[in-house]
Chain A
């Protein structure tokens, strides 16, 4: 923890204004999405509006959390290579307040369209009434997410603090006030570095544990309970590991795009792409493993209560979607990312990250929609759904851009001095 590498030169490079046209388009799309959502829920079939809102809530919350958990996991395992990528992943933290708001919108206003057990009198549902009731669900989700989001922000804050301390004099306006606030009470470089490391060492494992617990509960409440008599012990783990994978993929996309825009090739080197690619590859295989572990046991046991979930997703209208999920989250990235070349070339790296992210969206769609609407007349994805999804994406990106405008997009303090690991086993 001796003298740290301070790269003020990086700050000059990344201090570029944002493309106003792009932001305007995103804002328009967000408005269009909001309008589409309002017209859907006030139209003749409000449930479709609520369902797509719910799906997107799960997708973008999952991505944001997955990316932040990646930084915590990398910190815990002392993965020095992730330093330059850290901020790209941390940026998703700005979506969390929005996600929290959307959670309340769902449980307060959308509950009758989302939770089929509310009016159900099935004896199996009655048996779990002690858990599946609206007050308890609202409370545990609202409280759990709050704790999770606050911890996430606290963890990201510890990462920002030393950087903002160094650059705050060069900032103006809102950025300056944020920097002042976050770096307030500085105790001197040496003492601060030790103290920050201590805080991070405590926050990181807590954050991972809270993530696991809260997202497991969320997976049961917001997804498993949509098929109220279905249950699977692995589902929680499957759900949060999927979100972790999507966080990696989103980080990869952000890394490629931002590195290119700001000319950071000397900071984010090939070996970073290689390592991130390996992680995406590995967790995509791991996703397939969890999928298979769950599928095999249910298929082999062949108990109606358990197979109902899979049977619906094999209905003709859903079958191709289910296959596409498997292709996008496993088979395509598996064969695509298997070579070192594909992992290290930004274009292919990003291509497969996009495939994984898209796969993650259709996976969450496939987990939610067939439970609520098992036999629709036509595939329930029309222009309204598209607009809501794009609106969500725009809000998500706007939050990310806001973060990247407020804070430096690469760590200024504490990057390793050289391209540190000569890929140990090349």
Chain B
């Protein structure tokens, strides 16, 4: 009896999964278009500011010696950081067989790709003469023997971020294949050719599944070191210099932990409303949020550990400049930024020690917003306060971002949200195939 009942129930479950998740692709209501219009107008604001800057030159940004890296580089690091949750969830948690990743990996992966696309803009915006952007790629300058400097971490960055974009997009698209095939079979409108191409002729045969699972495992194994390396390389942009506040050995793992922390914060920020709007409560459960909250807590603890060790070592080193720089960071002109960072990243997440807080989505949502704010400020603090207060007292200076920089920051959020909004109506936000697999496995375990 039980033996025959199980497959039947499973088939029902499968049908429900298809129905519920593919329902998110139905024609959107007016609220969606309103939201889309809003974020596109933010992009417009950013585009205007960027055009203005391109016309008048980089002088319209708040840059002035010695602070020649400001909000743009902050944004770059911030967005690359946001991009870390996707691959963490899809690759590392896959290798660790953490089942709960199934319900959130798709949206995290998509968000990752869009965040890298956003981050990639900032080195170009930061250039000023954006039409020279191709100098970033080593081929051209090397051919001209202009600047073949492979010892510069900025070049490592170009490699790291472009590799990351490639791999995370591949990961997203490979994961999508079976799901897109489901969407293809169900779709009757203009999106059908789009799904047909993306599904790469998927029929769901045993052979295809075998290759697919193999490919996914290998990609996960290869993407895992990549996740760690990308933000490590970004951290070395700073750490290999000898600027006090930048030159410290803990930067690589600390940046990686911070990146995962901010990425998870962003995933929670978008999933709480998304789940509500699309009625996905059955698929993205409170348990999943609790697991994410635990990871947020772990990474927050690592980040706090890094802050404390840095401050302690600055004192312990006995070096006057190192001490002065740290002191100024904490109690100098930028104290407000540093304390915002400390409170948002180190103190507020401590609430997550309580199970009640981890399971309260409203609380979690609010904490995740603080995490986003705190992590943006972390990058700001590292970049700006270190440069503004280097070795020579005659060169100390207070940097204030201009309206152009703020507009471009706002524009970048619009740009990223625009892609995400398009994504949720084009592609399934929860992995259908993986969810079914999970259901099947759970059913099997329940019977064994």
Q: A: which residues have CB within 8 A of B?
A: 77, 123-125, 127-128, 131, 209, 212, 216, 220, 229, 231-237, 285, 289-290, 293-294, 296-298, 300-301, 303, 305, 418, 421, 424-425
Among the 9-residue stretches B24-32, B132-140, B244-252, the one with 4 or more Cβ atoms under 8 Å from chain A is B244-252
Kindly list chain A residues whose C-beta atoms are within 8 Å of the C-beta of B315: 128
Kindly list chain A residues whose C-beta atoms are within 8 Å of the C-beta of B301: 209
Q: Which residue of the partner chain, among A77, A128, A229, A233, contacts B249 with CB atoms under 8 Å? A: A233
Q: Is the interface of A mostly helix, strand, loop or mixed?
A: helix
Q: Which residue of the partner chain, among B239, B242, B253, B318, contacts A127 with CB atoms under 8 Å? A: B318
On whether A298 and B242 interact (CB within 8 A), knowing A233-B310, A305-B319, the answer reads no
Among residues of A, the one whose C-beta sits closest to the C-beta of B243 is: A301
Kindly list chain A residues whose C-beta atoms are within 8 Å of the C-beta of B239: 297
Q: Does B240 contact A (CB under 8 A)?
A: yes
Q: Which residue of the partner chain, among A77, A124, A301, A418, contacts B242 with CB atoms under 8 Å? A: A301
Most chain A CB atoms below 10 A, which of B96, B213, B239: B239
In the complex the two chains form, is A293's CB within 8 Å of B240's CB? no
Shortest Cβ distance from A126 into chain B, in angstroms? 8
Kindly list chain A residues whose C-beta atoms are within 8 Å of the C-beta of B236: 296-297, 300
Kindly list chain A residues whose C-beta atoms are within 8 Å of the C-beta of B94: 425
In the complex the two chains form, is B252's CB within 8 Å of A128's CB? no
On whether A235 and B97 interact (CB within 8 A), knowing A297-B236, A301-B241, A303-B242, the answer reads no
Among residues of B, the one whose C-beta sits closest to the C-beta of A294 is: B249
Shortest Cβ distance from B59 into chain A, in angstroms? 32
Most chain B CB atoms below 10 A, which of A231, A232, A421: A231
Shortest Cβ distance from B347 into chain A, in angstroms? 16
Q: Does B232 contact A (CB under 8 A)?
A: yes
Q: How far is the CA of A20 from the CA of B94 in the complex (A)?
A: 47
Kindly list chain B residues whose C-beta atoms are within 8 Å of the C-beta of A127: 318
Give 9 CB contacts A-B under 8 Å. A77-B98, A125-B318, A233-B309, A234-B249, A234-B253, A289-B232, A293-B249, A297-B236, A300-B236
Q: How far is the CA of A301 from the CA of B244 in the complex (A)?
A: 11
Complex interface bits, B201-230 against A, C-beta within 8 A gives 1, otherwise 0: 000000000000100010000000100100
Q: Which residue of the partner chain, among A125, A216, A297, contacts B247 with CB atoms under 8 Å? A: A297
In the complex the two chains form, is A128's CB within 8 Å of B253's CB? no
Kindly list chain B residues whose C-beta atoms are within 8 Å of the C-beta of A424: 97
Among residues of B, the one whose C-beta sits closest to the C-beta of A421 is: B97
Q: How far is the CA of A139 from the CA of B148 in the complex (A)?
A: 54
On whether A233 and B318 interact (CB within 8 A), knowing A294-B249, A297-B236, the answer reads no
Q: Does B313 contact A (CB under 8 A)?
A: yes
Besides A237-B309, A293-B232, 17 new A-B residue pairs in contact (Cβ under 8 A), listed by A number: A123-B318, A124-B319, A128-B316, A131-B316, A216-B309, A220-B316, A233-B249, A233-B250, A234-B252, A289-B232, A296-B236, A297-B239, A297-B247, A301-B240, A301-B241, A421-B97, A425-B95
Kindly list chain B residues whose C-beta atoms are within 8 Å of the C-beta of A418: 448
On whether A296 and B318 interact (CB within 8 A), knowing A234-B249, A234-B250, A421-B97, the answer reads no
Q: Which residue of the partner chain, among B98, B217, B248, contacts A425 with CB atoms under 8 Å? A: B217
Among residues of B, the one whose C-beta sits closest to the C-beta of A232 is: B249
Q: How far is the CA of A425 from the CA of B236 in the complex (A)?
A: 34
In the complex the two chains form, is B247's CB within 8 Å of A301's CB? yes
Kindly list chain A residues whose C-beta atoms are within 8 Å of the C-beta of B240: 296-297, 300-301
Q: How far is the CA of A112 from the CA of B182 in the complex (A)?
A: 73
On whether A233 and B225 interact (CB within 8 A), knowing A128-B318, A296-B240, the answer reads no
Among residues of B, the one whose C-beta sits closest to the C-beta of A286 is: B228
Q: How far is the CA of A220 from the CA of B308 in the complex (A)?
A: 14
Total number of B residues with any Cβ neighbor in A under 8 Å:
34
Among residues of B, the one whose C-beta sits closest to the C-beta of A235 is: B249
Kindly list chain B residues whose C-beta atoms are within 8 Å of the C-beta of A128: 315-316, 318
Sort A-B residue pairs by CB-CB distance and give the 4 closest, nearest first.
Answer: A127-B318, A233-B250, A293-B252, A300-B240
Q: How far is the CA of A242 from the CA of B250 in the complex (A)?
A: 15
Shortest Cβ distance from A160 into chain B, in angstroms? 26
Q: How far is the CA of A319 from the CA of B248 in the complex (A)?
A: 25
Kindly list chain B residues whose C-beta atoms are within 8 Å of the C-beta of A303: 242, 247
Kindly list chain A residues whose C-beta atoms are within 8 Å of the C-beta of B242: 301, 303
Q: How far is the CA of A234 from the CA of B236 in the complex (A)?
A: 14
In the complex the two chains form, is B253's CB within 8 Å of A212's CB? no
Most chain A CB atoms below 10 A, which of B94, B242, B317: B317
Q: How far is the CA of A125 from the CA of B318 in the complex (A)?
A: 8
Shortest Cβ distance from A83 into chain B, in angstroms? 15
Q: Does B305 contact A (CB under 8 A)?
A: yes
Among residues of B, the one whose C-beta sits closest to the C-beta of A285 is: B225
Kindly list chain B residues whose C-beta atoms are within 8 Å of the C-beta of A300: 236, 240
Among residues of A, the one whose C-beta sits closest to the C-beta of B235 is: A293
Q: How far is the CA of A123 from the CA of B232 in the complex (A)?
A: 34
On whether A297 and B309 interact (CB within 8 A), knowing A305-B317, A418-B448, A425-B97, the answer reads no
Among residues of B, the one whose C-beta sits closest to the C-beta of A122 is: B318
Among residues of A, the one whose C-beta sits closest to the C-beta of B225 is: A285
Among residues of B, the one whose C-beta sits closest to the C-beta of A224 is: B316
Kindly list chain B residues whose C-beta atoms are within 8 Å of the C-beta of A232: 249-250, 313
Shortest Cβ distance from A73 into chain B, in angstroms? 11
Complex interface bits, B291-319 against A, C-beta within 8 A gives 1, otherwise 0: 00000000001000110011001011111
Among residues of B, the one whose C-beta sits closest to the C-beta of A125 is: B318
Shortest Cβ distance from A246 into chain B, in angstroms? 19
Kindly list chain A residues whose C-beta atoms are within 8 Å of the C-beta of B98: 77
Shortest Cβ distance from A131 into chain B, in angstroms? 6
Among residues of B, the one whose C-beta sits closest to the C-beta of A205 is: B353
On whether A237 and B253 interact (CB within 8 A), knowing A128-B316, A131-B316, the answer reads yes
Shortest Cβ distance from A221 into chain B, in angstroms? 11
Kindly list chain A residues whose C-beta atoms are within 8 Å of the C-beta of B248: 233-234, 297
Shortest Cβ distance from A76 into chain B, in angstroms? 9
In the complex the two chains form, is B253's CB within 8 Å of A229's CB? no
Kindly list chain B residues whose C-beta atoms are within 8 Å of the C-beta of A237: 250, 253, 305, 309
Shortest Cβ distance from B365 into chain A, in angstroms? 24
Shortest Cβ distance from B126 into chain A, in angstroms? 22
Q: How far is the CA of A326 from the CA of B251 in the complex (A)?
A: 22
Among residues of A, the one whose C-beta sits closest to the C-beta of B305 is: A212
Q: How far is the CA of A421 from the CA of B94 in the complex (A)?
A: 14
In the complex the two chains form, is A289's CB within 8 Å of B250's CB? no
In the complex the two chains form, is B250's CB within 8 Å of A124's CB? no
In the complex the two chains form, is A297's CB within 8 Å of B97's CB? no
In the complex the two chains form, is B251's CB within 8 Å of A290's CB? no
Kindly list chain B residues whose C-beta atoms are within 8 Å of the C-beta of A77: 96, 98
Among residues of B, the one whose C-beta sits closest to the C-beta of A295 is: B249
Give chain B interface residues in 86-101, CB to chain A under 8 Å.
94-98
Among residues of A, the one whose C-beta sits closest to the C-beta of B444 is: A422
Q: How far is the CA of A131 from the CA of B314 in the complex (A)?
A: 13
Q: How far is the CA of A296 from the CA of B240 in the complex (A)?
A: 7
Shortest Cβ distance from A215 into chain B, in angstroms? 12
Among residues of A, the one whose C-beta sits closest to the C-beta of B247 is: A301
Q: How far is the CA of A157 from the CA of B53 in the complex (A)?
A: 66
Among residues of A, the one whose C-beta sits closest to the C-beta of B238 is: A297
Kindly list chain B residues whose C-beta atoms are within 8 Å of the C-beta of A212: 305
Q: How far is the CA of A131 from the CA of B247 in the complex (A)?
A: 23
Shortest Cβ distance from A122 into chain B, in angstroms? 9
Kindly list chain A residues whose C-beta atoms are within 8 Å of the C-beta of B213: 425
Q: How far is the CA of A418 from the CA of B448 in the complex (A)?
A: 9
Kindly list chain B residues whose C-beta atoms are within 8 Å of the C-beta of A234: 248-250, 252-253
Among residues of B, the one whose C-beta sits closest to the C-beta of A78 is: B98
Shortest Cβ distance from A313 into chain B, in angstroms? 15
Kindly list chain A residues whose C-beta atoms are within 8 Å of the C-beta of B317: 231, 305
